[in-house]
Structure 1
């Protein structure tokens, strides 16, 4: 058994031994309160992590580079013939750095159509408050084929 699990399993025993309790009932009440606080703490941490993961994903999906690239992908005849239509969006990851009128975005996201799945890689730059896509490539799952919509420089 892992040391942390062993400590957890022995927690009540150690608490009983290392503190003077008014009664067994008092001990059980305190341990029940601690258990509730622990469950609430774990739930708050889980909620925080969940919000961070999906909140950041939604920020990416609202970004101009993502919208521009997805629009180009769904209107590409090559992508449409390979995946079919409709093309659905998937999970998005990457990074964006914006400083005033300039910025850079490196994003990757999955797409899916009736005929298959693919991943999209996009690199975009923002100059003078205007985004432009510098590289846009679609890589098809289970295949070495790819569609280059905007050639990488």
Structure 2
């Protein structure tokens, strides 16, 4: 009969009307599986930021009204499975993103351009006097590395370093031609010191605080 509720009672029992983690985590996917198509609004940018919380708060009520359930236990078990699946997807997604971000320093540090930069810095007398013979790089470094199939490439690094005498940041720019890297710019700025240590400046890039003519 038209208009007849799918479940008895028509209104969700109070003990089942709780926050729905499956709807929150999986939003529109959960909506399709629970015949709650208003969840498709979660596909709209900006609206989705609000909709996931609406689904979390009202998802259980909508699922009860929009699908036929054998009993309360089936409903409870199904929504629990959705919550577990949603949590698993989020954990895997966050873990994957964290792995990608965490792998960036390893990729940069594993390059020949990075090793050339650090070798030059560690052997420079001025750098050792300012930072120490035990100069080491931090785990997190910035920059980019591009290598083309034809052997050309470009690399820029911003490397925090520290030693027994002080801390600083290494800035470098290297270019790769025919498979060989060459350093175009290599500068070390020591914390608390105005004048940078310029190791290489092949392109005569203006460097604030550096001696004229370098």
* Structure 2 length-normalised TM: 0.64
Residue 139 (1) aligns with residue 186 (2): no
Alpha-carbon spacing, 1:123–1:37, altered in 2? closer, same or farther (3 Å):
same
Give SS of 1:73's match: helix
Which structure 1 residue ranges, 5 or more long, are not aligned? none
* Structure 1 length-normalised TM: 0.87
Larger RCO: Structure 1 or Structure 2 (Cα < 8 Å, ≥ 6 residues apart)?
Answer: 1
Which structure 2 residue ranges, 5 or more long, are not aligned? 1-48, 204-214
Distance in 2 between the 1:143 and 1:27 partners? 67
Distance in 2 between the 1:144 and 1:21 partners? 73
Give SS of 1:94's match: strand
Higher strand share: 1
Q: How many residues align?
A: 152
- Select between 87-96 and 129-138 the one with higher mean Cα deviation: 87-96
Distance in 1 between the 2:173 and 2:182 partners? 9
Larger Rg: 2
1:94 counterpart residue number: 143
Query: Root-mean-square deviation (CA), in Å?
Result: 1.9
- Residue by residue over 1:64-101, the C-alpha shift from the partner in whole angstroms, topping out at 9 and shown as x without a partner, is 11000011111122222222231221212222221222
1:46 counterpart residue number: 94
Alpha-carbon spacing, 1:34–1:145, altered in 2? closer, same or farther (3 Å):
farther
